[in-house]
Chains A and B, each alone.
Chain A
Amino acid sequence: MSDDRSSSESIRRHLASLRRGAVGSFRRTARIARWEISRSAGTVDRRTIVAVAAILVVVGGVGLSVAEDGIGLEDELYVVGVDSDDPYADVATESDRFRTIALEDVRIDEGGDSNVDVVVTRDGELGYVGDNGEQAFHAFREAIEAENADRMAAEDDDVAAYPVLVTVEYQERETGMAAESGDGGSDTGGDVIGTDGVDADESAADDDTEIVDTDGDTAVADSDTTSSDSEAADSGGDRGASDDDTTDAAGDVVGSDGSGSDDDVGSPETTTDVTSPTADGEFQVPDVGATATEETSPATPDTLSPPFPFQSLVLAFLFIVPMNFVIQTYGSTIMDERIKRRGELLLVSPSSRYEIVAGKTLPYLLGLVGIVVATAAVIGGRTLSVAAAIPIALVFLASTFAGAMLARSFKELTFVTVTISVLLTTYTFVPAIFTEVTPIALISPLTLVVMDLQGESVRLVEYLFSTTPFYLSAAVLFLLGIGIYREEDMFAQKPVPAKIVDAITSQIDAVSRRVSSYWSPFVLSVVFMPFVFAAQLLAVALLFVVPESIALIVMFVLAAAVEEFAKSIHVYAGFARSRFEPTIRVAAILGALSGLGFFVGEKITHVGQFVGLSDLPISVAAFGPELGADLPLVVLLALFLAPLALHVVTAIISATGARRGRGTYAVAFVVATLVHALYNLGVILLVS
């Protein structure tokens, strides 16, 4: 009884001690954060304040302007010669793209030069002159269509206004895209011609455009809306009549580029089932951007969105812009601590280096969160936009912190921050361009922002797919940086590779203190997984535009090299810093545990399969094929465990080389990479 009492008393004391420790840690972190703010405020002169304020005003202004009025690149692009009392004058006046001049002021030289692009004669004829004339003419006709659409929208009698109603239903796409893509369309009643002019397989039902006319006939079209030549036809035999005659808005079903096919049978009950855009056959990308949404509303052809979300993309980019400025200040404050040795006195205080780094980072993180929230409020983003932008901000800060810990001078820091800006901006922005096209876009959280701005819903798994690598990468980068946030590395002019090895070694030490040094390769292989994942996703994105035959070969080798590096660099660091005994036996044990850790980590990251990324051949090269459910259990088990054997064997190869030094490690690493690449190739050939 008394033992129980003393035991519970001991637990209570332990918990109280932990609570005091946590409170104390929080207080010290908050103090350092508060001090960092007041200290930084002392370093900012008036010119800097004015410059920052100007930047914020510009960014805010651009955001507001774009959010309310669009991009505005085409304002008053064309000149229309029209009398002010002409009905077409209102169209030109109300559209931002046009500027009008009176007919009597129109001048057309003998050489064809003119002060107008489009002319509306007094008898209502339209014509164009000059180099821009044709484009201006088409734009003017689009404006006329829009004007007509507005008038119809204002019409009380919907049936009169919309003889054809369009219901847009976004459906989740089935897998097996490789078999379907490349087919242009299907033909179940009406003739529909796809991009490549090949009739589609009927199984591609989810990519079909279904048009029902008044008499109930159904035509199914594989609408390739990424193409500029999408065509559709009605069931009444009026087929293939796609043309530019879009002034006749009523009854036309128009592809993404605004071209349409005549459907001269008006109907109040026409339904169009349009999937979100799909890619062309060459790259075989499935659709993901517009899943899980459904919308039924009166629409005219010109209201169908193009696949390139230009406006949302520009708005999403506004989240990234301030981050590039904040990391400059953040990098400088970390560098100041090192170059001027000012951080030494904090290190002898009761604060741990974790508290110091947290305290110094917190103001910048909170600042970025504030900017993100404000940006979202300005451009109309919702919670999702904020939740997607914060992990980007975290990675910006974490990589800047790690970079500032590695740089040896402010000159090097400038190189580091510029590199981070370029790489992260590219990594986040470029994939977002393909928001409507391919699941690869989801490697960037900015894609989620674009989707949010487009009003599309996002599944939880998609959010996790986009942001988890960012959260984890940020955590690992901070940990590595904190590992060298100590006197010996902060103030020493060591080469960058030596510091990286030190940073990794600090994590080996951290694991060794808690478990055992032998388990550090296991833990670190799991910890490095976000970088592997991000590197491979980036490679997939970059090689996406390369011809597939080349991309696959490069991807095989690149993916293997990335994985082998992640499995072996910490083992090399441990040997280089004398944390492990350099014997064959120890190398074998470390390699085996590293391989096991990587296997475990790899299984965790197979989230890619949930978002349809595994449909891509190049993705298969990077992440491996999905196991077929129809295979025998023994084969499935073998295929499941084969990667474990691979990772263990190749990690042992690298570890064996690493124990003897840098040169032998490099050779062993190359051998392990080749073995890994050949294995990947073999498995894919076997499965396929």
Chain B
Amino acid sequence: MAIVEVENLRKEYGGFAAVEGSTFSIERGEVFGIVGPNGAGKTTTLKMIAGLIEPTDGTATVAGHTPGEPAMQRRLGFLPEESPLYEEMTALEYLTFFADLYDVPSEVARERIDRTLDRLDLEHRTRRIGNMSKGMKRKVAIARALVNDPEVLIFDEPASGLDPLTTNYIIEFTRELSEAGKTIIFSAHNLFHVESICDRVAVMNHGRIVARGTVDEIRGTHGGTEYHVYATVDASHALGEISASRENDQVRHVVGGMDDVESIREAVDAEGGRITDIQTTTPSLEEIFLEIASGSDAEGTARSDTETEADADTTDPEEELEA
């Protein structure tokens, strides 16, 4: 059953269409990724769903409520890409205030805040937010998004600008939330993060959804993604001919899919080493976007071959455009 319904969403700024005819639905408990280059319209779409931006046209509903309704806002947790906090307050004061604003009983709020901060491994909760590191601040922001125990979470670039350790922590936490039954809309540049936790993905470019489906479906069609697996030992033998190079005291393995990453991981474990980082190369990600975008531009209709999904209750955005 769809908990989020987006239909023909459109946002125009002075004649420029930031989002054009976005249509999709998200099932309860699903993790839905929205990816795309800067200026693709991801954040605008998320903000329209959250009720921050009024659509020029189209509708978005969460659990049957339109954005702006208090009943809808109570069901939603929103983590913007940049979430400036009130730095003069302590983490506890800040979270308690937002819990109060969402009418969460104080005892429930205290227990929920403690539990979330424990899980996020955030100490110094009575320290002023202004004195915290960037990673700690991001954890406070995530805790704030959860303070009302929302059914739907919107995470816009949750790990943007954070170190790999904190990034992995946040991605793992997001996965746990998904397993706990939360519906999550997730936006990121890093395709690895997206494909590691998202059930389905919509690729946006120039304000339009140009591809939609599972991660494998999209990658299978467009390819080009390279995963750079950094390990303390050389495990390239596990996959035969793959690119591996030594950088300082680490070995970088370049592979083309998640199965290969898993193989590298097993090989590294067998060698007694450990994986220090996994990255997708930015050009590869951009290549996918550019390929999809240029393909859709060439076709004129911007219709992607990766449109494998045929939800009966959703309208194909590209067909809408054609119409």
**Residues of A participating in the B interface, judged by any CB pair closer than 8 Å:** 24, 28, 31-32, 35, 38-39, 42-43, 340-342, 344-352, 486-488
How many residues of B are counted as interface, with CB atoms below 8 angstroms from the partner's CB atoms?
28
* B182 CB to nearest chain A CB (Å): 16
Are B73 and A39 touching (Cβ within 8 A)?
no
Are B73 and A348 touching (Cβ within 8 A)?
yes
Q: How far is the CA of A31 from the CA of B106 in the complex (A)?
A: 13
Are A487 and B88 touching (Cβ within 8 A)?
no
Checking A39, A350, A486 against B101 with a beta-carbon cut-off of 8 angstroms, the contacting residue is: A350
Given A345-B78, A345-B144, is A43 in contact with B88 using a C-beta cutoff of 8 Å?
A: yes
Q: Which residue of A lies closest to B71 (CB)?
A: A350
Are A348 and B101 touching (Cβ within 8 A)?
no
Are B89 and A42 touching (Cβ within 8 A)?
yes
* A494 CB to nearest chain B CB (Å): 10
Q: Which residue of A lies closest to B14 (CB)?
A: A498
Q: How far is the CA of A39 from the CA of B128 in the complex (A)?
A: 11
With a cutoff of 8 Å between Cβ atoms, the chain A residues found around residue B54 in the complex are: 486, 488
Are A345 and B82 touching (Cβ within 8 A)?
no
Are A28 and B85 touching (Cβ within 8 A)?
no
Chain A CB within 10 Å — which of B52, B93, B100 has the most?
B52
B110-154 interface (Cβ within 8 A of A): 128, 144
Q: Which residue of B lies closest to A353 (CB)?
A: B68
Are B47 and A350 touching (Cβ within 8 A)?
no
Q: How far is the CA of A345 from the CA of B100 in the complex (A)?
A: 14
Q: How far is the CA of A24 from the CA of B100 in the complex (A)?
A: 12
Summed over the interface, the residue pairs from A and B with CB atoms below 8 Å come to a total of: 61
Q: Which residue of A lies closest to B141 (CB)?
A: A345
B40-70 interface (Cβ within 8 A of A): 47, 50-54, 70
Are B80 and A344 touching (Cβ within 8 A)?
yes
Are B97 and A35 touching (Cβ within 8 A)?
yes
Are A345 and B53 touching (Cβ within 8 A)?
no
Checking B52, B74, B84, B103 against A342 with a beta-carbon cut-off of 8 angstroms, the contacting residue is: B84
Extra contacts, 8 of them, besides A344-B52, A348-B50, A352-B70 (Cβ < 8 A), are A24-B103, A38-B93, A42-B89, A340-B84, A344-B80, A345-B80, A486-B52, A488-B54
Q: Which residue of A lies closest to B56 (CB)?
A: A578
Are A488 and B53 touching (Cβ within 8 A)?
yes
Checking B82, B84, B101 against A351 with a beta-carbon cut-off of 8 angstroms, the contacting residue is: B101
Given A487-B47, A488-B54, is A341 in contact with B84 using a C-beta cutoff of 8 Å?
A: yes
Q: How far is the CA of A42 from the CA of B98 in the complex (A)?
A: 17
A-B contact pairs, 30 of them (CB 8 A): A31-B100, A35-B97, A38-B89, A39-B89, A42-B88, A42-B128, A341-B80, A342-B84, A342-B85, A344-B80, A345-B83, A345-B98, A345-B144, A347-B52, A348-B50, A348-B51, A348-B52, A348-B73, A348-B76, A348-B78, A349-B73, A349-B98, A350-B70, A350-B73, A350-B74, A352-B70, A486-B52, A486-B54, A487-B47, A487-B52
With a cutoff of 8 Å between Cβ atoms, the chain A residues found around residue B98 in the complex are: 345, 349
With a cutoff of 8 Å between Cβ atoms, the chain B residues found around residue A344 in the complex are: 52, 80, 83
Checking B82, B84, B86, B103 against A39 with a beta-carbon cut-off of 8 angstroms, the contacting residue is: B86
* A38 CB to nearest chain B CB (Å): 7
Q: How far is the CA of A397 from the CA of B53 in the complex (A)?
A: 27
With a cutoff of 8 Å between Cβ atoms, the chain A residues found around residue B84 in the complex are: 340-342
Q: Which residue of A lies closest to B96 (CB)?
A: A35
Checking A342, A349, A350, A486 against B86 with a beta-carbon cut-off of 8 angstroms, the contacting residue is: A342
Q: How far is the CA of A52 from the CA of B144 in the complex (A)?
A: 34
Q: Which residue of B lies closest to A577 (CB)?
A: B14
Q: How far is the CA of A341 from the CA of B84 in the complex (A)?
A: 6
Q: Which residue of A lies closest to B48 (CB)?
A: A487
Q: How far is the CA of A488 from the CA of B52 in the complex (A)?
A: 8
Closest 5 CB pairs of A and B: A42-B88, A350-B70, A487-B52, A350-B73, A348-B78
With a cutoff of 8 Å between Cβ atoms, the chain A residues found around residue B52 in the complex are: 344, 347-348, 486-487
With a cutoff of 8 Å between Cβ atoms, the chain B residues found around residue A352 in the complex are: 70
